[in-house]
Structure formats: structure tokens, C-alpha cells
Amino acid sequence: MKIFLDTANLESIRKFNDMGLLDGITTNPSLMFKEGGNPKDAMEEITKIIKGDVSLEVVSTEYSGMMEEGKRLRQYGENVVVKVPMTPDGLKACKSFSSEGIPVNVTLIFSANQALLAAKAGAKYVSPFIGRLDDIGQDGMKLIEDIRKIFDHKHYEIKTQILVASVRHPVHVVDAAKIGADVVTLPPAVLDKMMLHPLTKIGLDNFLADWDKLKSGNPDIQI
Ligand code: E4P
């Protein structure tokens, strides 16, 4: 399963990229707003740092505006995936972009039917928002299961990847991986939590304490 970071924060992107953890980035207008400044600078920098797919979202709601914006966004780099909303105009733009070989991420997916239509329109990625479904008392992960089942059906040849979005905690990640989601996009805080386990910390503290004891008998010892 690929891991994308769901942020426009350059510090986090550099931090996790240096660890070799990032296959790509997803952004949206809210994430850009959170960082402040001119989003153009962030988009330019992110597409330079990350070699994998970087989803940059259009803000037009009608087809021709989406097409213009998508083409402008693609100027940031060959790795730019144009992110369009799951609307009739978004699907039309998805069809046009994908026919021109421009990859598209269809965002704000909340049902299997929406995922099916986005795949039909040629999306490279569909982004089901599982956390927001959980928030309203629906089972977000069940949606991932349903989409996986449909996309894997032996009678179809769907190449669209399931990009699990709106991830809230590490359990979401394990569950998505068990289902066989293609990608999860994670807020930096979730990726931070995935690295931690109390027993790792206790174990390391003990190793270091024992090493100090060993050295106290012979200060010349070194690795
Ligand atoms: C996905 O591409 C979206 O940017 C994101 O995952 C939305 O998450 P949220 O529900 O935490 O805003």
C-alpha cells in the first residue's frame, strides 16, 4: 500500500520524505489555507521535493474553469495529479484530462456509486473520505471494502486506484491495508503516531541504561 501525506506543510513533507516514507502528496484548498501564504509557492516546492504523484485541487466548479486550472496546475510538474470534485462537471473534466493522458484524482467520494462513476470517467485515483463518514455515524471502512470488491470484480478491468482519504488514526491505516486499498493519504500526526509504540521506548531506554552500566565498569568501551 502506498503512503501519501495529506498536507501542504513543507516541514512535514521534508521530514517524512527524508525517512523514505512518502510515495506522494495530497492537498486541498483547506490544507493550503491552513499553511497561509501564497499557495503557488507551496505547490512549486512540493512538486520539487516529491518525485511521486502530487494531487493539486481545482477550485472552479464548472467544466471550462476546471480545465483551465488543471492545465495551469500541471505546469508545476509532470507528477501533478489534477484533483477534481465528484460532480457532473468534475466527471466531465476527469474524462477530458484522462483522455489527454493527464492523471486525475476524483475527490469527495462518499459512496460506491460515486467511485464507480469516477473510475468510468478515467480517474487514476478515487478518494473516499472515510473519517467524514465515520463522523456522521456511517462506516467509512465498509465503503473501502465495497469499492475494493467492485474494482476487483473479475468481469471488470478497473485500473483506478483507491486512495483512502480523511484518515483519522492509525487503526484506519491497518484496516485499509488489510482490505487492500492502493493508497492511504495521512495527516502528519497520524504518520507520527504510526511510528510509536510504548514498548519500543521502554526497550530502548533499558538497552541504553544497561550500556551505561557496562561502560561504568570500563569507560574505554565503545561501539
Ligand atoms: C483528501 O485528499 C483530503 O485532502 C483529506 O483526506 C480530507 O480529510 P479531512 O476529512 O480530515 O479534511
Nearest CA to ligand 1 atom 7: 166
pLDDT at 178: 98
CA 177 to chain centre: 13
Burial (CB < 10 A; 0-12, 13-18, 19+), residue 98, is middle
Three cell numbers, residue 54: 502530487
Query: Is the CATH number 3.40.190.10 carried by domain 2-192?
Result: no
Percent of the chain exceeding pLDDT 90 equals 99
Q: Domain ranges for the chain, please list them.
A: 2-192
Please give the distance, rounded to the nearest whole angstrom, from the Cα atom of residue 199 to the centre of ligand 1.
31
- Can you give the pLDDT at residue 177? 98
Q: Does the reported pTM lie above 0.85? A: yes
Which atom of ligand 1 is nearest the CA belonging to 168? 11
Report the separation in Å between the CA atom of 68 and the middle of ligand 1, taken as the mean of its atom positions. Answer: 24
**Cβ(109)–Cβ(86) below 8 Å:** yes
122-166 tens-digit pLDDT? 999 999 999 999 999 999 999 999 999 999 999 999 999 999 999
Query: 87 burial class (0-12, 13-18, 19+ CB within 10 angstroms)?
Result: middle
What atom in ligand 1 is closest to the CA of residue 165?
A: 6
C-alpha closest to that of 52 among 27, 78, 30 = 78
Sign of torsion over alpha carbons 27, 29, 31, 35? positive
